[in-house]
Amino acid sequence: MDVFEAVRTILAIRSYQDKPVPEEVVRRIVEAGRLTASSMNLQPWHFIVVEDRDTLRQLGSLARTGPYIAQAALAIVVAIEKTRFAVSDASRAIQSMLLTAWSEGVGSNWVGFVGQLETVKPVLDIPAELEILAILPFGYPARAVGWGKKNRKLLSEVASREKYGQPF
Ligand SMILES: Cc1cc2nc3c(=O)[nH]c(=O)nc-3n(C[C@H](O)[C@H](O)[C@H](O)COP(=O)(O)O)c2cc1C
């Protein structure tokens, strides 16, 4: 799948087949995060791969906006340093991981945000100096997804040419 095709078709996937994701695909997803660029190349992130079912259930019960994490084949918890560019840097790493997974047929979604997931830290022994930006559940989609059908604003609403407000 080329990059634009992945961007065009990726959707938030919130229900998953009961089927494991092969180890080489998991590794490739995490590698995509590791290889992402960051401000001053500081790489202010840590990715915790969770496959243990009991832990996934715990994450699902703690993440108010993502109970479906409990059913995922795995989840990656994205912890970040409390530094200025960490949210931007790690958001970019998250997008790398989501697109890499999608290109392998694996669906995912972004769950939570900074400040919302503090109760997850003790479950995973995450040190106090880090905070959690997101939990990313991964799995093969339970249902066929509407490939490329997206509810988005029109290009004319979100883009201009040369100056703000001039038609694109
Ligand atoms: C920063 C961010 C935070 C999000 N948080 C959640 C969340 O906590 N729970 C959830 O189910 N979806 C979450 N989403 C997914 C969005 O709701 C979803 O991508 C959006 O509604 C568009 O859906 P679509 O890509 O399937 O068209 C989040 C997405 C982003 C980018």
Tens of pLDDT, residue by residue, the chain (168 residues): 899 999 999 999 999 999 999 999 999 999 999 999 999 999 999 999 999 999 999 999 999 999 999 999 999 999 999 999 999 999 999 999 999 999 999 999 999 999 999 999 999 999 999 999 999 999 999 998 877 789 999 999 999 999 999 999
Q: Minimal CA–CA distance to 83: which of 44, 110, 51?
A: 44
For residue 150, the CA-to-ligand 1 centroid distance in Å is 13
For residue 162, the CA-to-ligand 1 centroid distance in Å is 31
| Contacts with 159 (C-beta within 8 Å, 6 or more apart), sequence order | 168
Whether 60 is in the pocket of ligand 1, judged by its Cβ within 6 Å, is no
The span from the CA of 140 to the CA of 107, in Å, is 6
Q: How many CB atoms lie within 10 A of CB 143?
A: 10
Whether 146 is in the pocket of ligand 1, judged by its Cβ within 6 Å, is no
pLDDT of residue 144: 85
pLDDT of residue 1: 84
The answer to whether the beta carbons of residues 75 and 137 sit under 8 Å apart is yes
User: Fold for domain 3-158?
Assistant: NADH Oxidase (3.40.109)
**In terms of DSSP bridges, do strands 130-139 and 45-50 run parallel, antiparallel, or are they unpaired?**
unpaired
Q: What is the pTM of this model?
A: 0.97
Long-range Cβ pairs for the range 114-119 (8 Å, 24+): 114/80, 114/87, 116/63, 116/64, 116/65, 117/62, 117/63, 119/62
Residue nearest to atom 18 of ligand 1 (CA): 12
For residue 112, the CA-to-ligand 1 centroid distance in Å is 9
Q: What residue ranges do the domains of the chain occupy?
A: 3-158
For residue 88, the CA-to-ligand 1 centroid distance in Å is 16
pLDDT of residue 24: 98
pLDDT of residue 146: 74
